[in-house]
């Protein structure tokens, strides 16, 4: 949707541990909170990751400036996303709603991290969501967000914010969605001929399985074969047994076919590089839409 950078619209941070603005500090988990159900699920996942890695959690709540402005029009009406009913839409009302959502986000953040004893803070900013997040996130940070927010259109599987951040985030992005955690599920990593990108993806996968001890499947997009030394290197990087590794090549990049393979592999999480051919293809968005599982996108 039409949202573009509008930096400097103002950033407010709170909590004693606040380190907002120190975007270069490595190892934080940034979680984007917008008050939607999916964002709270993402918050739970972020808190768990932080608990394992010992990272701080930084919640980000952005009051979208376009939204605030549009409420300023006398003729503005809000059309209900489910009911289709048109209601009055005014600045005072939206202001209140935003404040309420922000305080809910604060409570949710504190509640989610409390069992893990992780340090946390919340950054509340006014501006454009993507810009604000990019301003906060550094290359070492993991950005966790729901695949769709409240701002998604009905039926959409990938929100505009998620789309923008996947492509522009300096660090890894985890697109969260609620799925069934299969007991024998595997972490699937897409690899192609881009060595650096592959390395980053394998690294990210290694971090994912460090705690969950799940087996890994490598999906080769580049060619049918993988040299044995490369395979050994990957095994070393992942730190798993030979028996816990599947390697299979991807016959096609058709989103439906790929989704089928992922089901066969009982995938519980997908790791791929932003430079991966799959994300470069025109059907990339469709693929993300077709997959009902968390996806980690590495730079």
Partner 1 sequence: MPLPAPLTENQVYHGCPEDKLDFITTEDLQDLERPYGQDRVLRALEFGAGIQADGFNLFVLGPSGAGKHELVERFLSLHAARQPVPPDWCHVYNFQFSDRPNALKLPAGEGRQFKKDMNDLAEELRTVIPAAFESEEYQARLQELQEEMAKRQHQGLFEIQEEANRNNIAMITTPAGFTFAPMRKGEVIDPEEYKNFSDEEKQLVESKVEELQKKLQQTIQQIPRMRKEVRERVHALNEEMVQLTLGGPIGELREKWSQLPDIVDYLDAVREDVVEHAEAFQDSDNGPPAGLLARYKVNLLVDNAETVGAPVIYEDLPNHQHLAGQIEHRARQGNLYTDFTLIRGGSMHRASGGYLIIDARRVLTQPMAWESLKRILSSGEIRIESLERLYGLVSTVSLQPEPIPVSVKVVLLGDRMLYYLLSHYDPDFLDLFKVEADFEDDLDRNDECYDLYARMIATMARALKMRPLERSAVARLIEHASRLAADQRKLTAHDRVLRDILSEADHWAGQAGADTVEASHLQQAIDEREYRASRVRERSREQISRGVVMIATAGEEVAQVNGLSVLRLGASMFGQPTRITATARPGKGQVVDIEREAKLGGPIHSKAVMILSRFLASRYAGDGELSLSASLAFEQSYGGVEGDSASVAETCVLLSAISRVPIKQSFAVTGSMNQHGEVQAVGGVNEKIEGFFDVCKEAGEINGQGVLLPASNVEHLMLRADVRQAIAEDQFRIYPISDINQAIELLTGLEAGKPDDGGEFPENSFNRRVAERLAKFAEASKKRDSNGDANNGGGRDSD
Closest approach, Cβ 101 to partner 1, in A, equals 7
Strand 11-13 vs strand 29-32: parallel, antiparallel, or unpaired? unpaired
Quote the CA–CA distance of 271 and 26 in Å, as a whole number.
20
Q: Which is nearer to partner 1, 65 or 166 (CB)?
A: 65
Residues 20-79 that bind partner 1 (CB under 8 A): 35-36, 64-67, 69-73, 75-79
Closest approach, Cβ 77 to partner 1, in A, equals 6
Q: Which stretch binds partner 1 (CB under 8 A): 8-16, 209-217, 237-245, 257-265?
A: 257-265
Q: Which is nearer to partner 1, 3 or 245 (CB)?
A: 3
Q: Judge contact between 44 and 106, C-beta under 8 A.
A: no
Does 92 help bind partner 1 (rule: CB under 8 A)? no
Q: Which is nearer to partner 1, 207 or 285 (CB)?
A: 285
Q: What is the SS3 assignment for 199?
A: helix
Question: Is the four-CA dihedral 77, 80, 85, 87 of positive or negative sign?
Answer: negative
Residues 160-189 that bind partner 1 (CB under 8 A): 180, 182
Closest approach, Cβ 33 to partner 1, in A, equals 12
Q: Which is nearer to partner 1, 2 or 92 (CB)?
A: 2
Q: Judge contact between 281 and 252, C-beta under 8 A.
A: no
Q: Judge contact between 211 and 183, C-beta under 8 A.
A: no
Residues 115-134 that bind partner 1 (CB under 8 A): none
Residues 228-247 that bind partner 1 (CB under 8 A): none
DSSP bridge partners of 191? 220
DSSP bridge partners of 273? 298
**Pattern 142-161, partner 1, x by CB under 8 A:** --------xxxxxxxx----
Residues 262-281 that bind partner 1 (CB under 8 A): 263
213 dihedral zone (left: phi>0; alpha: psi -120 to 50; beta)? left
- Joined together, the tokens standing for residue 26 give 């490595």
Quote the CA–CA distance of 92 and 70 in Å, as a whole number.
12
Q: Which is nearer to partner 1, 124 or 238 (CB)?
A: 124
Q: How far is CA 266 from CA 17, 58, 185, in A?
A: 40, 31, 5
| Binding residues vs partner 1 (CB under 8 A) | 1-4, 6, 35-36, 64-67, 69-73, 75-87, 89, 94, 97, 101, 150-157, 180, 182, 256, 259-260, 263, 289-290
């Amino acid at each position: 949707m039409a949202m573009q950078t509008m930096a400097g619209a103002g950033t407010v941070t709170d909590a004693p541990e606040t380190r907002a603005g120190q975007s270069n500090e490595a190892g934080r988990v940034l979680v984007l909170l917008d008050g939607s159900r999916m964002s709270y699920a993402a918050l739970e996942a972020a808190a768990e990751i932080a608990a394992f890695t010992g990272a701080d959690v930084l919640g980000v709540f952005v009051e979208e400036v376009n939204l605030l402005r549009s409420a300023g029009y006398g003729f503005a009406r809000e059309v209900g996303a489910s009911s289709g009913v048109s209601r009055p839409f005014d600045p005072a009302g939206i202001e209140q709603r935003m404040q309420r959502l922000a305080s809910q986000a604060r409570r949710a953040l504190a509640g989610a991290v409390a069992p893990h004893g992780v340090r946390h803070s919340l950054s509340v900013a006014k501006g454009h969501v993507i810009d604000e997040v990019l301003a906060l996130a550094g290359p070492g940070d993991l950005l966790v967000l729901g695949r769709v927010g409240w701002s998604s259109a009905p039926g959409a599987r990938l929100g505009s914010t998620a789309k923008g951040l996947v492509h522009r985030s300096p660090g890894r992005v985890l697109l969260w969605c609620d799925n069934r955690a299969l007991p024998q599920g595997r972490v699937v990593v897409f690899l192609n001929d881009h060595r650096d990108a592959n390395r980053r993806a394998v690294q990210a996968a290694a971090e994912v399985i460090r705690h969950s001890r799940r087996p890994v499947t490598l999906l080769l997009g580049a060619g049918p074969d993988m040299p044995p030394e490369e395979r050994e290197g990957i095994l070393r990087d992942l730190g798993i047994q030979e028996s816990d590794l599947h390697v299979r090549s991807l016959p096609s990049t058709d989103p439906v076919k790929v989704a089928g393979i992922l089901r066969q592999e009982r995938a519980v999480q997908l790791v791929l590089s932003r430079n991966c051919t799959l994300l470069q293809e025109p059907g990339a968005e469709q693929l993300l839409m077709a997959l009902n599982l968390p996806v980690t996108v590495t730079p």
